[in-house]
Amino acid sequence: MARKPKYVYSFGGGKADGKAAMKNLLGGKGANLAEMTSLGVPVPPGFTITTEVCTAYYENKKKYPPGLEKQVAAALKKVEREMRMKFGNPKNPLLFSVRSGARQSMPGMMDTVLNIGLTTKTIPGLIAKTKNARFVWDAYRRLIQMYADVVMEKAAGVEPADGQGIREQLEHVMGRVKTARGYKSDLDLTAEELEKITQVFKAKIREILGKEFPDDANDQLWGGIAAVFQSWNGRRAVSYRRIEGIPHHWGTAVNVQTMVFGNMGDASATGVAFTRNPATGEKVFYGEWLVNAQGEDVVAGIRTPNPINEAGKTADTGHLESLEVKMPKLYKQLDGIQKKLEKHYKDMQDIEFTVQDGRLWMLQTRTGKRNGPAAVRMAVEMCREKLISPDVAVSRVKPEQLDELLHPMVDPEAEKTAVELAKGLPAGPGGASGQVVFTADDAEAWGKEGKKVVLVRNETSPEDVHGMHAAEAILTAKGGMTSHAALVARGWGKCCIVGCSALDINVAGKYMNVAGKTIREGDWITLNGTKGRVYDGMLQLAFPDLESNQDYQALMSWADDIRKLGVRTNADTPQDAGKARSFGAEGIGLTRTEHMFFEPSRIMAMREMIVAETPDARRRAVMKLLPFQRQDFKGILEAMEGLPVTIRLLDPPLHEFVTLDATQMVTLAGQLGISPEKLKARVNSLHELNPMLGHRGCRLGIAYPEVTEMQARAIFEATAELSKAGRKVHPEVMIPLVGSVNEFLDQEKLVRAQADAVMREQGVKFEYMVGTMIELPRACVVADRIAEGAEFFSFGTNDLTQTTFGFSRDDVATFLPDYITGGVLPADPFQTIDQEGVGELVKMGVERGRAVKPKLKIGICGEHGGEAESVKFCHRTGLDYVSCSPFRVPIARLAAAHAAIEEKAAGKAPKAAKPAKKVAKKKAKKVAKKKAKKKTKKVAKKKATKKPAKKKASKKPARKRAKRKPAKKKAKKVVKKKAKKKPAKKPKKKAKRKARKRR
Ligand code: PEP
Ligand code: MG
């Protein structure tokens, strides 16, 4: 007989059906509850209903699979036995919490119901047992509030007007009683008052929702289970999944767990903590707690929590009592558990605990979210503690998280004289300025208009997530470092300040009073999220210095050791080139030359060239640009000395240089000495209906060879000048928008003629390469033909995406958002490479190119070169390098390392890398290296005279060496200690790097 499917997994009493590795089935929370139980950590017993049930529930018109009820009943019995209590029993009632738990944590996005099992039958029994009527009535009013909100309103699909939800309405009931009695806190309410409140609550529910609050334990349990499954498809959960890229088909598990209470008096408490500081990465046990409270009180920010220990105190929280001092024994036990958990999971844990009447219970452990700087620090420190390997450390940091290390910070000088409005808790680092808005919807709407906003709220809730995402920064009046705002902002690496109690916010009036001022919607403020300071106005922001971040340097040096893919930059100026080099760029993969023509001193010559009627006149005009261009290229080559520099010949449509209004036309005609009519006629003749498919790229150079000649001459004169001065420069001339081999050959001939001429004239020999962009589908198809001439390929995936999809890259915004929201395309193909279509063409180009020239150097210089997933694709496809904007260089370096680690884990090498690998092995040997040196010298000499095309392959070793040197130096500095300790590893590392460079 076939085994019945298992839908329910029990845990408790030191035994568990599940384990940590079963996250897909049990969700993160369920899997970890099982693991903690097996580790001997005190966990309240319970059971997990699997994610498969959720999937089945949605696939089967919201019906449970047969047999689920029976399995739940059996698991429930187990818990009853373990706890020696009974669910729904009037004398000895067992209460449950019902919580969601997806594979990947979705903080606060789904629903929870606590205290399930409290009914008019069980309440007297629990009062008799606990001898604490106040506690029981308080638990009952919490159950009613939560249940009404989650089960009876949200899960039932009731959508109240903003502020009119049942939860708020019940909150008002309680608020009115507190005001009437002059109470400040919920804790002031007596048992009798709470009992009355629960009666009013039930009447309100009847009145507003037209239903009775259920008075049966089992009804409550199944209502709670259904509500959790329903919340998987709730609005906020769906929007969070979309933002985080979590698949909708995963489903959530449901965890039904024995309730333990942190609100049973002064020997009870609750808290949330991290095994390391999630904001800085520092290795200190870090968290917050509240005496006599339930978990939601800490997270919701209703009460400002205390620091868990003395080490975690700040100037703002120094006066608050820590758990370490208030309950030293329990703190010691908790500290032991947190250490055990971190050691077991080998990663920073985010834990939740409750102390019930002097007994500690662990409610949750999960991998803690952290911001970028903290992720880097933790990864490096854990590796140094030998908890994890360098590979694991490198893969722990998401490439995008490095963005946060490049975060703008409030300029310290500007901060000195700024008007401080308020102080709060520094929940998310970095600085941000923006216009104040008071609702999440406004934040989203203003964001869509392109405005920078700071979302200011009393506290945030998961309903605000869309506005929080749209905002530059988040500021809340309430809440602690583990409040909703703090957790969500940290996960996104967003600037955030919470618990800023000086703010007196009037949401309806759209203003706030603070520090004697009124700040209205639209006013600018600046946040220093690292210090927790709020300032009036828009302050200058400054970028941090990556060079001084030793953890970052160490991590990146490990990443560099691991990765096989080279990383270059797209840079058009010496300044950008220098910046990119400081970020670790190993050369330039694309210098666009067009902007160089638009400077006022040059544009005239360009226009003269365009309107010239004879080749001679055209040449005279264009040659006026030569000295400027020579200077441009000299600067860039110098800034990248020792590294390859790919310079692309002019690419944009010609008419862009003569886009003029009527007055400008008359002025230009005068300057050019021709009639305005003639000029107009010429300009009109350049008009194109589809300029991006028109007279651009190599088509320009074919029609106007003078432009190619001038640019090639400028590149080579700069090279000659620098070579004579003993500088090592490596220009690579790149022909754009080639679709056939003849286009390439036409331009190559012009370029090489200039190289020969300059070498002859200047009596100097230098190396250079001539290659092409592959950015048209045809170029991919005939890549074998093109490779016969080209010495390198660089995939221009911007144009390749445009021409493959037939989407105009300039007009795509008019329809692409509909494609993404409608699921027609999974992502913007101009950001993340479309592997299925464009990617296949890239693969074809690589395969066909290398079939002719196995060692053909191939890179990518489209925007995709700095996007993590696309970088990984490039690695798998066997490219030699990616090239991206300077600020994305670190991201590409890390993504390339991730790709290599993933490949290692999958136990396979990239197909296209095979031939190169063999070469790398051979060349790693010293003897071979020497040979290569000699060969290079010989070849370089020969090359200047004849047959340039054949010499390129043998030129490579020399270039590789030159390219490698600075990187080696840098790495040595950074990992000085490491290198000192383990000298034996050095040669291996060298060999590895060479292997990479030769791919
Ligand atoms: C490309 O097309 O990918 C490219 C890098 O060139 P450009 O963006 O300048 O057209
Ligand atoms: Mg292009």
The answer on pLDDT for 990 being more than 70 is no
pLDDT for 84: 94
The answer on pLDDT for 961 being more than 70 is no
The answer on pLDDT for 972 being more than 80 is no
- Dihedral sign for Cα 833, 837, 841, 846, please: positive
Query: Is the pLDDT higher at 741 or at 669?
Result: 741
The predicted-structure confidence for 897-916, as pLDDT tens digits, reads as follows 999 999 999 985 554 433 33
Burial of 978 by CB count in 10 Å (0-12 exposed, 13-18 middle, 19+ buried)? middle
Q: Which residues contact 5 (CB under 8 A, 6 or more apart)?
A: 52, 65, 67
pLDDT for 216: 97
Which range in 1-5, 601-605, 931-935, 983-987 is most confidently predicted, on average pLDDT? 601-605
The answer on pLDDT for 43 being more than 50 is yes
| Contact predicate 735/698, CB 8 Å | yes
Instruction: Tell me the average pLDDT across 933-958.
Output: 36
Confidence grade of residue 441 (pLDDT, cut at 50, 70, 90)? very high
pLDDT for 513: 96
> Distance (Å, rounded) from C-alpha 372 to C-alpha 432?
16
> Distance (Å, rounded) from C-alpha 219 to C-alpha 584?
61
SS3 for 768-825, per residue?
CEEEEEECCHHHHHCHHHHHHHCCEEEECHHHHHHHHHCCCCCCHHHCHHHHHHCCCC
Rg (CA), the chain: 33
Instruction: Tell me the average pLDDT across 830-852.
Output: 96
Q: Give me the residues near ligand 2 (ion), CB cutoff below 5 Å.
A: 775, 796, 799
Instruction: Tell me the average pLDDT across 403-431.
Output: 85
Whole-angstrom CA distances from 937 to 874, 940, 943 are 32, 5, 10
SS3 for 612-676, per residue?
CCCHHHHHHHHHCCHHHHHHHHHHHHHHCCCCEEEEECCCCCHHHHHCCCHHHHHHHHHHHCCCH
pLDDT for 493: 65
**Residue 335 token pair:** 């500290």
Catalytic residue among 861, 874, 875, 898: 861
Instruction: Tell me the average pLDDT across 983-992.
Output: 36
Q: Is 775 in the pocket of ligand 1 (CB under 6 A)?
A: yes
Please identify, by atom number, the ligand 1 atom nearest to the C-alpha of residue 590: 5
**Residue 741 token pair:** 């081999």
Least confident of 70-84, 147-161, 926-940: 926-940
| Contact predicate 250/105, CB 8 Å | no
> Distance (Å, rounded) from C-alpha 749 to C-alpha 733?
12
Active site residue 344: no
Confidence grade of residue 530 (pLDDT, cut at 50, 70, 90)? confident
Q: Hey, which of 592, 780, 833 would you mutate to test ligand 1's pocket, going by the most ligand atoms within 8 Å of its Cβ?
A: 592
pLDDT for 941: 39
pLDDT for 946: 35
The answer on pLDDT for 982 being more than 70 is no
Q: Is 283 in the pocket of ligand 1 (CB under 6 A)?
A: no
Strand partners for 732 = 646, 769
The residue type of 416 is K
Q: Which ligand is nearest to the CA of 798?
A: 1
Active site residue 484: yes
> Distance (Å, rounded) from C-alpha 597 to C-alpha 607?
10
Please identify, by atom number, the ligand 1 atom nearest to the C-alpha of residue 592: 9
**Residue 879 token pair:** 């490219």
Query: Is the pLDDT higher at 234 or at 588?
Result: 588
The answer on pLDDT for 423 being more than 50 is yes
Instruction: Tell me the average pLDDT across 558-573.
Output: 96
Mean pLDDT of the chain: 87
The predicted-structure confidence for 104-118, as pLDDT tens digits, reads as follows 878 778 888 999 999
CA of 692 to the centre of ligand 2 (A): 9
| Contact predicate 509/493, CB 8 Å | no
Residue (of 462, 502, 504, 512) closest to 483 by Cα position: 462
Q: What is the pTM of this model?
A: 0.76
Least confident of 46-55, 239-248, 760-769: 239-248
Residue (of 367, 377, 363, 364) closest to 345 by Cα position: 367
Least confident of 451-460, 541-550, 934-943: 934-943
Q: Which ligand is nearest to the CA of 809?
A: 1
> Distance (Å, rounded) from C-alpha 178 to C-alpha 157?
31
The SS3 call for residue 694 is coil
Least confident of 275-284, 542-551, 796-805, 838-847: 542-551
| Contact predicate 463/437, CB 8 Å | no
Whole-angstrom CA distances from 88 to 69, 93, 117, 795 are 17, 6, 6, 68
Q: Which ligand is nearest to the CA of 591?
A: 1
Q: Residue 806's CB: how many other CB atoms inside 10 A?
A: 7
Pairing of strands 8-12, 495-498: unpaired
Share in percent of the chain as helix, strand, coil (round to 5): 55, 15, 30
Give the containing element (helix H, strand E) for 87. Answer: strand 86-87
The residue written with tokens 């890549």 in the block is 783
pLDDT for 390: 97
Instruction: Tell me the average pLDDT across 827-851.
Output: 95
Count the alpha carbons within 13 Å of 330 in the hemisphere toward its beta carbon: 24
